[in-house]
Amino acid sequence: MGTAALASGVVSSAKAFDAFDLKIRKIRYYAAPGYNKPLFNQARGIVEVETDSGLIGIGEGGSNDMIRQVAEMIIGEDPFRIEHIWQHCYRSMFYPPGREKLHALGAIEMALWDLKGKALGVPVYDLLGGKTRDFVECYATGFRNSKATTMEGRALDCLAAGLRCYRIGPTGGNGEERFDFYEHSKKTIEMCQRLDSAVGGNGNWAVDLHTRFDTPEAIKICDALEKLEPYFVEDIIRSENPEVYRTIRRMTKVPIAVGEQFGDRWDTNVLIENHLIDYSRVTLPNTGGIGELKKILAIAETHYVGIIPHFTGPLSSAALVHVLGSSSPTRCMMELAGGEPEYPAYFNPDYMIFREGKLYLNPEPGLGVQFDPVKADFQFEITENTKFPHPFLLAPDGSVHNW
């Protein structure tokens, strides 16, 4: 029984779900052609999860070894039990998953949402509660459509195109082997002052300090920027110790954005729970998946923290529109590298609906993205669970228990 029968209302919802007696049969992994950025340990491979019915969902992210490990845990599972699968993969090994494994788990979980939406004939945002926004505002990191030769000119072109905000990074660090904190803190302040003067303030710009500065120089920059009122100042210092933002928060009043290097809700909870940041930068697939990002958004909502996800890849950006477009009215904004979506050859050209600097929800089933594997680089296929499964425990009610 297919989606037409579901839509007609001929059968009850319980019987309809029974009709989808699906099992995960294969998981394939493809490398993204032409993507070679070793500066980022954020792989942009494509994952296909295929059921015994032939239905396929797609996700993005993960490295070969981590995708393989997660895939070998879920062959034969019911793909509709997305949360159960996530908890099994998260809890059923001895060590909690690190951020690289979360990246892989997020890719596969993304594919499960896409698959479920396709099976039911609805977009993922409907599965997440339905549309709450008409569109998602965007900001640009660089603006490739501009013919301007100055930063100020590119920023003005970006805003004229309808994007909400223009983001810059600090001076220095690009191709340099040595980085002088004092020199580049002064230059970064001067650059921000020029940008603010050009775009007229009003939160039309933001700056990413990229964790390059130690506390004295970072705070010196923030002190100088307070009166300029940027939309946000990102990654003021290194992120290994989130508790350090207790100190940073007391030392500056600029809007603080942190989180692109973080993973699940436990990673970012201390920052949100203690009001140490104004915006969380957590994103897909880094959080471990769509469901986990929704949970982080709920935590953020209760503490009045906004969400401005980091850009990772084109399919992840498409998934973010579904999540943010069905989330609470917490202030949010999406990053577009270059000021527009990427259009890789292995996706349908209309996979993202982008108009006048804004992203609109794709109403097609699943994530609304079609993947052509012929145009990607096949890596491997998993059809069996590992021959050496890790033991796991279930609670009396059948839910996953800590091992």
- Each residue's pLDDT tens digit in the chain (403 positions)? 343 333 333 333 334 444 578 999 999 999 988 776 644 557 789 999 999 999 999 999 999 999 999 999 999 999 999 999 999 999 988 888 999 999 999 999 999 999 999 999 999 999 999 999 999 999 999 999 999 999 999 999 999 999 999 999 999 877 777 888 889 999 999 999 999 999 988 899 999 999 999 999 999 999 999 999 999 999 999 989 999 999 999 999 999 999 999 999 999 999 999 999 999 999 999 999 999 999 999 999 999 999 999 999 999 999 999 999 999 878 999 999 999 999 999 999 999 999 999 999 999 999 999 999 999 999 999 999 988 887 788 899 999 888 7
3-state DSSP helix/strand/coil % of the chain, to nearest 5: 35, 15, 45
Strands of the sheet containing 24-31, edge to edge, are 56-60, 46-51, 24-31, 377-382
Domains of the chain: 3-120+373-401 (3.30.390.10), 126-360 (3.20.20.120)
pLDDT above 90: percentage of residues in the chain:
81
d(Cα 69, Cα 77) in Å, to the nearest integer? Answer: 15
Model confidence, pTM: 0.92
d(Cα 31, Cα 182) in Å, to the nearest integer? Answer: 41
Q: Dihedral sign, CA of 54, 59, 64, 70?
A: negative
Q: Are 288 and 260 in contact (CB under 8 A)?
A: no
d(Cα 308, Cα 232) in Å, to the nearest integer? Answer: 10
Write the pLDDT tens digit of every residue in 158-198: 999 999 999 999 998 777 778 888 899 999 999 999 999 99
